[in-house]
Amino acid sequence: MHTICVYCASSSQVKQSYFEATARLAKIFANEKLSIVYGGGSMGLMGQLADSTLENGSMITGVIPRFMCEVEWNHTNLTELLLVETMHERKEKMAMMADAVVALPGGCGTLEELLEVITWKRLGIFTKPIVIVNLEGYFDDLIKMLDKAVDENFMRPEHRKMWEVVNSPEDVLSAIRNSVSWDKNARTFAAL
């Protein structure tokens, strides 16, 4: 494991405790000599993630669509900034660079990224660990919805093994290391 993809909020109006947890996660990854790939933003939890990663001596790569740089949403101090043309390219590049995906709280962009990578895992396109960091119960309703999808036969019970849920940054690495193995053959039970 070398590179972790992190999805998180660009909003600066969120709880301070989310910023603190993001900083702790960045430090944990840096202590393990792990690099981060993320959406390249400078604000909110994204900015906190980048700043804390750099402060702790680790590398962070941002992947951002060109139009976001034109309005100066990008972080200007990253180890590397990769420009892409579309949001679709951004998500694909981030996931393909990663050895695992971690989702911190965020808005519709974060939720969309998380659900897309779960869908890719269900189809065997992305086979690596996915960890949802359920800070202060933020993802409770999403987790209930995913469980409902299984309960109502929109997904199989084994699909619950596609992601791990933890409540704090300190539990992320063990969740990654202990996640259930998943491979491309998963697509053989993608349909019900």
The count of domains in the chain is 1
The answer to whether the beta carbons of residues 104 and 110 sit under 8 Å apart is yes
Q: Would you state the pLDDT for residue 99? A: 97
> Can you tell me the distance from the alpha carbon of 42 to that of 91, in angstroms, rounded to the nearest whole number?
17
* pLDDT, greater one: 111 or 191: 111
Per-residue model confidence as pLDDT tens digits over 20-78: 999 999 999 999 999 999 999 999 999 999 999 999 999 999 999 998 878 788 898 99
* Average pLDDT score over the chain: 94
Confidence band, pLDDT 50/70/90 cuts, at residue 187: low
In a 10 Å sphere around its CB, with 0-12 CB exposed, 13-18 middle and 19+ buried, how is residue 167 labelled?
A: middle
Q: Would you state the pLDDT for residue 117? A: 98
> Can you tell me the distance from the alpha carbon of 83 to that of 74, in angstroms, rounded to the nearest whole number?
10
Residue 50: give its domain's CATH number.
3.40.50.450
> Can you tell me the distance from the alpha carbon of 182 to that of 170, in angstroms, rounded to the nearest whole number?
24
* pLDDT, greater one: 134 or 180: 134
Share of the chain above pLDDT 90, in %: 88
Any idea which of 5-9, 129-133, 156-160 has the lowest mean pLDDT?
156-160
Please give the residue range of the domain that contains residue 23: 3-189
End-to-end CA separation in angstroms for the chain: 32
Question: pTM above 0.85?
Answer: yes
